[in-house]
Structure 1
């Protein structure tokens, strides 16, 4: 298992990323829950999960 922190480059929301290398996952993409910016494109070779840990202030991004 690998753990890392990821930040959205658009709105600066923070995520905890957990990757299970021993388990296959689903191919697809993960988009920021706050602004919709694509964070990662996954090929499904591992199981990846994201959890929002730092919500940005409303003044740090604009739609």
Structure 2
């Protein structure tokens, strides 16, 4: 399993990214659920999951 952090360049939301190479995933794109910016194109070779960890400041204004 690989772990990492990703920050959306559009809205600055922070995500935890988990990749499990032992399972096949679904090809497609992962988009930021807050601003719809494409964060990663997925080819389906591994299972990838994202979890929002830091909401952008503009949500609290």
TM-score, shorter chain, exceeding 0.5 = yes
Over 6 Å off, 4+ runs: none
For residues 12-51 of structure 1, the aligned pairs below 5 Å read: 12-51=12-51
CA distance in 2: counterparts of 1:49 and 1:12, whole angstroms: 18
Cα separation, 1, equivalents of 2:46 and 2:25: 5
How far residue 33 of structure 1 moved from its aligned partner, in angstroms, is 1.1
Compute the RMSD of aligned alpha carbons: 1.0
Task: Give the TM-score of the pair, scaled to structure 1.
Answer: 0.90
The runs of 5 or more residues in structure 2 that have no matched partner are: none
State TM-score, norm by structure 2.
0.93
Aligned residue pairs, count: 59
Note the C-alpha offset of 1:57.
Answer: 1.0
